[in-house]
């Protein structure tokens, strides 16, 4: 269920007539061994495992409601899976449907390797074409405005100094290092080499990569640690609340909305859009595509190439505004 960097909308099976829990016996027999494989062997994140389970449960409910569960997984063929895809389009957007089917293919592949199933009914099943969506990102000027938010609130006594510098640090690391929000909140002081300005980040699939953070982010980090977390050790979280606890993903998401509102920017922009901005600004400045791929931790170059489309679109926009023959 190849979890994407950001999941598509419409992930809940809201239109399904029965959302009763999947029977414990089915979970124990079919889901749990697969879940253990995902977590222990493939080292998928809890977020990814959750998405896989949503796809599995939705598929089971469809089989049950269609009267196909009686025959079991082995009885399923391409025809039945085409019916599933057609029906699922009423409940999911195209991207979510692609993710679910990808995950179900992985599920069947797992049980084929274990010898319990002999075929993968999803192989060869056509899916609706994905709409091409360019990632949203902030311009460099918008980023400056956003990053200035914590100090603006601090100057107006809207927040305390700890919160202001912590929030500034969070945004500087997201933008300066191109981190995913999950990577950000998991970051410990021992993973950062202050003299080189590089962090060792554990990304998707538990793969480690090196992320230059930038001189500004390092300067903010040193100030925050010196003034608000002087007792921090190598295992201590970089982003901490005033009570010393680690900042959560949801707290970062809510924090960002506060500064988006302050800067007059769209509130639907997520922490991941700062990562998009990081990649886009690097490519706009002439960075090599494969270098950006490595910095982002993408396993496939095609995942990174979407940012080249953003850069080309931006160039065309500038050309249209500036050239007399445009």
Catalytic site positions = 180, 204, 272, 275, 298, 307
DSSP state at residue 299: S
- Token pair 């889901």 in the structure block, residue: 31
Instruction: Report how far residue 8's alpha carbon sits from residue 172's, in angstroms, rounded to the nearest whole number.
Output: 26
- Give the 3-state secondary structure of 143-168: HHHHHCHHHHHHHCCCCCHHHHHHHH
* CA-CA-CA-CA torsion sign (6, 7, 9, 12): negative
Burial label for 212, CB within 10 Å (0-12, 13-18, 19+), is middle
Give the strand order in the sheet containing 208-212: 192-193, 198-202, 208-212
Angle (deg, nearest 10), helices 271-284 and 161-177: 50
- DSSP, collapsed to helix, strand or coil, labels residue 120 as coil
Instruction: Report how far residue 137's alpha carbon sits from residue 201's, in angstroms, rounded to the nearest whole number.
Output: 22
Exposure pattern of 227-246 as b/e (b: 16+ CB <10 Å)? Answer: ebbeebeeeebbbbeeeeee
Instruction: Report how far residue 151's alpha carbon sits from residue 156's, in angstroms, rounded to the nearest whole number.
Output: 9
């Amino acid at each position: 269920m190849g979890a994407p960097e950001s999941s598509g909308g419409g992930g809940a099976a809201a239109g399904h007539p029965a959302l009763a829990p999947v029977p414990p016996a089915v979970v124990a027999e079919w889901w749990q061994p697969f879940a253990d494989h995902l977590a222990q062997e493939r080292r998928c994140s809890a977020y990814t495992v959750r998405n896989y389970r949503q796809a599995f449960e939705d598929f089971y409910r469809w089989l049950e409601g269609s009267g196909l569960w009686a025959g079991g997984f082995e009885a399923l063929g391409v025809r039945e899976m085409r019916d599933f895809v057609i029906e699922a389009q009423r409940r999911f957007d195209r991207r979510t449907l692609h993710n679910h089917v990808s995950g179900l293919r992985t599920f069947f592949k797992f049980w084929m390797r274990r010898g319990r199933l002999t075929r993968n009914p999803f192989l060869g099943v056509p899916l609706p074409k994905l709409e091409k969506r360019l990632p949203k990102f902030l311009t460099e000027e918008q980023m400056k405005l956003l990053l200035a938010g914590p100090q603006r609130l601090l100057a107006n006594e809207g927040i305390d100094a700890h919160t202001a510098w912590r929030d500034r640090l969070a945004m500087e690391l997201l933008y300066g290092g191109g981190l995913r929000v999950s990577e950000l909140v998991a970051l410990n002081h021992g993973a950062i080499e202050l003299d080189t300005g590089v962090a060792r980040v554990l990304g998707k699939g538990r793969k480690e990569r090196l992320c230059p953070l930038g001189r500004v982010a390092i300067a903010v980090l040193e100030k925050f640690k010196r003034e608000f977390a002087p007792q921090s050790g190598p295992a201590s979280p970089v982003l901490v609340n005033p009570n010393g606890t680690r900042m959560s993903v949801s707290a970062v998401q809510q924090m960002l909305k506060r500064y988006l509102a302050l800067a007059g920017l769209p509130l639907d922009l997520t922490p991941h859009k700062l990562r998009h901005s990081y990649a886009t600004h690097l490519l706009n400045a002439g960075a090599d595509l494969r270098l950006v791929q490595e910095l982002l931790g993408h396993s496939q170059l095609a995942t990174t190439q979407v940012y080249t489309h953003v850069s080309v679109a931006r160039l065309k926009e500038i050309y249209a505004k500036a050239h007399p023959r445009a």
